[in-house]
Amino acid sequence: MRSLTLNLLLAIGVVALGLAGLLLGETRLTFDQFSEALSNPGSGPYQVVFDIRLPRTVAALVVGAALGLAGAVMQGLLRNPLADPGVLGVSGGAGLGAALAISLGLAIFPGAIELAALGAALAVGLVLTWLAARFREPEILILFGVALSAFLGAMTSLVFNFSPSPVALSEVFSWLLGSVANRDWDDITRQLPAMGAGVVLCAYAARGLVMLTLGEEAASMSGLPMTRLRAAAVAGASLLTGASVAMAGIVGFVGLAAPHLVRAVTWGGPGRILLPSALAGAVLLGGADIAARIIPTDNELKLGVMTALVGAPLFALIAWRAARNWRG
């Protein structure tokens, strides 16, 4: 499929899911109620559509796009189809920051959990950016990332271990499962600067990702400032992931699956799949959020659970197809 056609179809999908996100939810609204929502600000239907559903839908689409983009950048940088935004430990760092903030009782301050999550993600991102500038071999970066993820996971478990109250424990656990329910515009706008910076850095790094297709040595001889571009890719993906975790908790699979979904219908270098991966990520998470809303359960399904439940079989199917292609 041509890039333009794919981007257009995915953009239509994003818009359609955005509209569906306004129309669908736990509370069923009639046509008249929708008319009232559009014509009467302050009315009940208006609050449901514009104060609850709209920010929630935007949060799902924005987080999905950020994770899809971060996943495509990570796979391009590490030249590894198994890479995703969590592989280097950024999600783990953000999770630890949030867990610490909740267990220390900082949740009473608005935005404190998100700030802790973003701050911790940025700290991990800084370490990774330094490592990316220091070591050019992707394998070394992956090994450091695995070690960092394991360490941060253990620290989060330690927080669980020493959590003073079962309530805080449950709150941490719930947060880590990922959700965009009850997000308001403040929750979104607080993360937009970090996400914007992440997008700019990823766009800047795109040329380097394409050149890395030839391998480290050929890329370093190309004339591009590869050390700077590699660092920009890691910093950009870290910012996007950190801000996403701060907005919606830990949502797995989107960053891994979105670039693969794109590659299943088109092919090309890492530069060409950045935009469609972001759009595919938005479609995946937008769809998962709507599914979580309308599936009738006592407790609403968490977004992280939903993406793993739907994403894992889908991903296995893609891997099955890819394996057949690899075997020829």
Partner 1 sequence: MSVLALHELTVRRDNRAVLDTVSLSVTAGELVGVVGANGAGKTTLLRAALGLARPASGRAELSGHDLCRMTQMERARLAAYLPQDRYVGWNMSAWRIAGLGAFDRPPAEARAVAFTALARVGLDGLEDRGVLQMSGGERARVLLARLLVTAAPLLIADEPTAGLDPDAQLLAMDLFREEAARGAAVVLTLHDLSLAARYCDRLVVLAAGRIIADAPPLKALSAEVLAEAFGLTGYMESTPDGPSLIVRRRIVQ
CB nearer to partner 1: give 166 or 328. 328
Does residue 136 sit in helix, strand or coil?
coil
* CB 86, CB 303: distance < 8 Å: no
Does residue 164 sit in helix, strand or coil?
coil
| Options 212, 258, 279, 303; binder of partner 1; rule CB under 8 A | 212
CB nearer to partner 1: give 185 or 267. 267
CB nearer to partner 1: give 44 or 225. 225
CB of 260 to partner 1, least distance (A): 12
Q: How far apart are CA 235 and CA 230, in angstroms?
A: 9
From the number of C-beta atoms within 10 Å of its C-beta (0-12, 13-18, 19+), residue 71 rates as buried
Contact positions with partner 1 (CB under 8 A) in 224-253: 224-226
Query: Of the ranges 183-191, 266-274, 291-299, 307-315, which one interacts with partner 1 (CB under 8 A)?
Result: 266-274
Q: How far apart are CA 145 and CA 164, in angstroms?
A: 30
269 near partner 1 (CB under 8 A): yes
CB nearer to partner 1: give 150 or 218. 218
CB of 79 to partner 1, least distance (A): 4
CB of 278 to partner 1, least distance (A): 18
Q: How far apart are CA 104 and CA 89, in angstroms?
A: 22
| Options 218, 265, 295, 316; binder of partner 1; rule CB under 8 A | 218
Query: Of the ranges 182-190, 198-206, 264-272, 303-311, which one interacts with partner 1 (CB under 8 A)?
Result: 264-272
Contact positions with partner 1 (CB under 8 A) in 23-82: 76, 79
Q: How many CB atoms lie within 10 A of CB 315?
A: 16
DSSP-derived letter for residue 224 is S
- Which structure tokens are listed for 50? 């514009």
CB of 269 to partner 1, least distance (A): 4
193 near partner 1 (CB under 8 A): no
Concatenate the DSSP letters of all residues of 90-110 into one string: HHHHHHHHHHHHHHTTGGGST
| Options 105, 110, 215, 313; binder of partner 1; rule CB under 8 A | 215
DSSP-derived letter for residue 302 is P
265 near partner 1 (CB under 8 A): no
CA dihedral 313, 315, 320, 321 (to 10 degrees): 120
211 near partner 1 (CB under 8 A): yes
Q: How far apart are CA 189 and CA 185, in angstroms?
A: 6
CB of 35 to partner 1, least distance (A): 50
- Please report, as ranges, the residues that interact with partner 1 according to CB under 8 A: 76, 79, 207, 210-215, 217-218, 220-226, 267-270
